[in-house]
Structure 1
């Protein structure tokens, strides 16, 4: 009797195993959000959810990767959509941009050309044609697009769709109508960008970059932050463009060292010399953008006197003087004609000085920069307060402001992550 029961149990186990479907390597689940919670960030609007990504990491996206469910990918990728994005036929994008014509050209950069177009539903879009087809195969390209497509934030340009056609790789973005920060700062004949608008743009773009660094999983390092990659809408809300494109354009990417990309004048010292890349490389580039907003000068300007062509090198001694004495008149854009709040200006100078430190580990995280810049934006720039009339900072400094001052001055009290050195030596580092 006992032998009969054991036999029945064995048959049942064999039958259940036989009915199970074989594992084809497809993993539809998503990893948990980044441990850096949104509560650590300021000013994010509702609907800006942490990024969730396929269960394999960046470096595992390759042709034939079973972790991305390659067996489920059909041979005709033009019939597929990735995430919330649409896969457009090449013919449609060619048509809406008038044959990718120069008349529709919005701009040209290191990753490719951008053309304006209008979809059949009337939606205006910007179509980016990647140089050399992006350098990736179809599945690799789709894997990277999957990452970008899941990023949604009010201060990041949204990806609408993509196209794969033979060696062509195109990305379709929402069109942002009011040009770039670079255009508003430097284009001939433009009205001077007011101080309140500059603060607003700085805070908005900082929020977008911080979201990429700390709320996306896997994190996204931009690698080409500059004023021409900060787009502005008609209300001068900043939207950071071109995030994730370094992944699409680089054929041999690791999480530590990659082919150097970026724009001269914005590159962090350690990145330009060795290609070693962290979020702090983006922080340095953003510090250069802050210097542009403060000074009104280009990152590299050959028309300046010999030795003053580089904005960062020209600004370092003046930043040091400003932090020590509180005098910063030589730094400030003369076109502002002193129409700014002096305390707000000093806070932004502190932020810029901290961001462009030589030592990457001694630079702040973007979330810390956000908190400081948000404290400036708390003065509503549209409520009629005149420059220099704000009473916002006529109170004791907040803990965040005091913390950030310690970063800018190089104090060791801030974090054990920062290497030990004297305050005087830290100041000399600028």
Structure 2
């Protein structure tokens, strides 16, 4: 929530399991504590594991309350450890000495045993391990449950603290604290997204088992697993059971790679699999899908187990693997990876759940190529939740009371990849908003309102003040800095009708944007900073600095500002026709002609070309997108929103900086190298050209996976020579094919993987002006009243297509209530160019 980089970046390098010096088949845990809580004697399970009693003299329990044991002789339970429970009416601590630091399983067993004193199915309690890790928060077991955790213990003891919430008792039926092998969790894992990124520091996390499935096989109990794990069957998680077919072989046939081990998963897991149910049909073209219910506010480690037990010879089976709606492994060839058949192999993926599909899907499907058999397999799935930024595996509060919604908010408490995933906080918000959007979202918000820009790593230029935006105003906002007219707070209050909520035309991290009317009748957009928010303050400063020194016909200009008391307000002239995106899709506005679209693009490119070449030092916009191309009353296009812009010093080819931009527009080379160049703007503008051609968003999560990313999807059709099949239907029959092809060629060049292969903005300008000439030639042949003709004021007519009427720009609504609510950096329907400051 997610940036989808060009198709080339979706290839995943398949590597074998990291080699180990030996191939251990068994593991003897140094620590092996099994406690039957509330029992008066030890208990032996059918798998021959023996649980000790925690009587009042137990060396493991420190408890200041009275001894409360409950026992239900009549209970029909799967294991005897669920017949009794220890109940705590005060804080209770179990402490287990650690013989050898490292990975340890902690398994907590719960069954609300019926008794005469407590209603255990109505209790609410929390559990904290090792003083800092929240295992359970306000938890109420309703039935027999086992919660399993894996933590890297570095303390002399594993302390597990039970505490009831609001006079509610806590209880537990059994506890396991057992050592786990070091090889179980690697130091590094592949990120599902962005593809190709390695996530470091995996051993610093704690994990909770959410799902562990023996795909295609039966249930595996702790007695038949090398590490005492339980594997469930996968049948109930299959979305369409008719599309899946189980297959199995004898477990003793399974072999492991050098360095591999049954400790990862026992042979029984690899000896069964699910393949495509009708894989023998002539043209199978479907995915086998497993669906899981996950809390998308956490990251996860997804481990997929594979073993080719269906092929009769090598290099027969090639298939794709999808996780969370994204390609996880493309064209997986197990025989090449493992060097043989029936060889165990697993793949670890770090998944930021907020960036992927909800519900969470794991899918396998055939390769759409004329090679191998049309089939796909999966042998096992493990999904482990990773602790959040406050070291909690359940809820938003840490053991110290911190909340993920507070100042320390983050997704993962990691140092190795903080930059990478910090850059994706915007997409997490995007995904949540998309899932929760109201039915009338198009009336209330433009698409841009949830397509947030990325902000990672910049410190606030007012960091010393959390509540006053104007506490250091004198350092940056002197009236001598060329920032236009000073407007008093009273003037702006009157202009916005005392900050009337009906005048709000934008909502963002800084605060609200209001449509106002000054005393001379000038309509303005008033951006008022929120004194309770520090979001985007650095960008706020940058925009002031940029707009104070930039003047061009195709760049927005600042009218004035206000910095009275603690206020921080910017004032722009109102842009009558909003953003270019609004006139392409999402707002049900009249369709605009191809010629008019080209003219808008040409205006935007002229503004960008000026930024790159016309200023004292090159300026990179860094957030080029269709919502930041605004239209004045004559539909003249101007670039807006310079909050992310960056100066490039004389003689410098690039500037090294944190990754910022908007999803779907971000230059992949900039993302990889963190080196910003003017070619990053060129790449983003290539996406804009495709928006203009196809009239759809750069990223649309509602579409099928292969269509989500516009740049990938459109370029696939372009390479097939079939781009006309996906262009805006309103252009069909009204666009000169040569003009369309010229624009598409310009877009393709802009989207080159490497910046050195992309054109300059000057080159793009030439290409678009040539495309405009080609369109004019075609329209001349059609006649002066064709869909590309112009009005007397220079604004082209829009064609009447699909019941969208032909209108002039002057007919567009001026009602503020119809202006979309926008994100601060989208630029939609906010700004206008101050006519007397325009210069070329």
TM-score band, normalised by shorter chain: 0.5 to 0.7
Aligned partner of 2:765 in structure 1 is 370
Are 1:289 and 2:289 an aligned pair? no
| Deviation of 1:147 (Å) | 3.6
Which stretches in structure 1 are left out of the alignment for 5+ residues?
Answer: 1-61, 64-72, 249-254, 390-430
Q: 1:268 to 1:203 in 2, by over 3 A?
A: same
Q: 2: distance between equivalents of 1:87 and 1:281?
A: 35
| Deviation of 1:81 (Å) | 4.0
Aligned partner of 2:195 in structure 1 is none
Q: Deviations over 1:188-215 (max 9, x none)?
A: 4322221111111111111111111110
Q: 2: distance between equivalents of 1:346 and 1:74?
A: 51
Question: Among 571, 576, 584, which residue is 1:177 paired with?
Answer: 576
| Deviation of 1:168 (Å) | 3.8
Q: 2: distance between equivalents of 1:188 and 1:147?
A: 30
Q: Deviations over 1:290-334 (max 9, x none)?
A: 000111121111222222111011122222233xxxx53224222
Are 1:92 and 2:491 an aligned pair? yes
Larger Rg: 2
Q: 1:366 to 1:78 in 2, by over 3 A?
A: closer
Q: Which moved more, 1:90-99 or 1:352-361?
A: 90-99
Q: 2: distance between equivalents of 1:343 and 1:363?
A: 21
Q: 1: distance between equivalents of 2:707 and 2:511?
A: 31
| Deviation of 1:335 (Å) | 2.6
Q: Which one has a larger percent helix, Structure 1 or Structure 2?
A: 1
* Residue aligned with 2:655, SS: coil
Q: 2: distance between equivalents of 1:164 and 1:74?
A: 7
CA RMSD of aligned residues (A): 3.4
Aligned partner of 1:219 in structure 2 is 618
| Deviation of 1:245 (Å) | 5.0
Q: Which one has a larger percent strand, Structure 1 or Structure 2?
A: 2
| Deviation of 1:244 (Å) | 4.5
Q: Is the 8 A contact 1:78 1:89 kept in 2?
A: no
Question: Among 485, 490, 502, which residue is 1:103 paired with?
Answer: 502
Pairwise mapping of residues 386-401 of structure 1 onto structure 2 (< 5 A)?
386=786
Q: 2: distance between equivalents of 1:143 and 1:109?
A: 17
Q: 1:109 to 1:313 in 2, by over 3 A?
A: farther
Q: Deviations over 1:122-167 (max 9, x none)?
A: 1111122356467669xx9778634422312111111112233455
Q: 2: distance between equivalents of 1:345 and 1:143?
A: 37
| Deviation of 1:216 (Å) | 1.3
Aligned partner of 1:336 in structure 2 is 731
TM-score using structure 1 length: 0.63
Q: 2: distance between equivalents of 1:189 and 1:130?
A: 31
Q: 1:349 to 1:142 in 2, by over 3 A?
A: closer
Q: Is the 8 A contact 1:83 1:146 kept in 2?
A: no
| Deviation of 1:355 (Å) | 0.8
Aligned partner of 1:384 in structure 2 is 784
Q: 1:74 to 1:304 in 2, by over 3 A?
A: closer
Aligned partner of 1:239 in structure 2 is 638
Equivalenced residue count is 308
Q: Deviations over 1:164-196 (max 9, x none)?
A: 345543221121101211111113432222111
Structure with larger RCO (C-alpha < 8 A, sep 6+): 1
Q: Is the 8 A contact 1:223 1:262 kept in 2?
A: yes
* Residue aligned with 1:335, SS: helix
Q: 1:200 to 1:76 in 2, by over 3 A?
A: closer
Q: 1:83 to 1:152 in 2, by over 3 A?
A: same
Question: Among 745, 751, 757, which residue is 1:350 paired with?
Answer: 745
Aligned partner of 2:606 in structure 1 is 207
Q: Is the 8 A contact 2:560 2:571 kept in 1?
A: yes
Question: Among 243, 257, 281, which residue is 2:656 paired with?
Answer: 257
| Deviation of 1:349 (Å) | 0.4
* Residue aligned with 1:106, SS: strand
Q: Is the 8 A contact 1:79 1:87 kept in 2?
A: no
Question: Among 108, 111, 115, which residue is 2:514 paired with?
Answer: 115
